[in-house]
Amino acid sequence: MEQQERPRAPLSLRLLGIVVLALLAWLLLGSAMSAARTVLAIAGYLVVAFIAYTVGKWVGRHGPPA
């Protein structure tokens, strides 16, 4: 039995598919990076707030006598 060649999509259709997949990956990666930056920013705010709270407590306890 002879091996039959599989039918292939035209080159223009394959190129269009690659372009669509590239755009989709770019959008998804961009959204993921944006979400990661947002999470990182919120974590940074929390760290700064904790440090400010800790320093404020220390200054309040070790400040000049009332």
Greater pLDDT, 8 or 44? 44
pLDDT value, residue 66? 63
- Output the pLDDT for position 9: 83
CB under 8 Å to 62, separation ≥6 — which residues?
A: none
Residue 21, both tokens: 């997949």
Measured CA to CA, the distance from residue 62 to residue 56 in angstroms comes to 10
Q: How many residues does the chain have?
A: 66
Provide DSSP, 40-54. Answer: HHHHHHHHHHHHHHH
Measured CA to CA, the distance from residue 27 to residue 32 in angstroms comes to 9
25 vs 5, more confident? 25
Tens of pLDDT, residues 10-62: 889 999 999 999 999 999 999 999 999 999 999 999 999 999 999 999 999 98
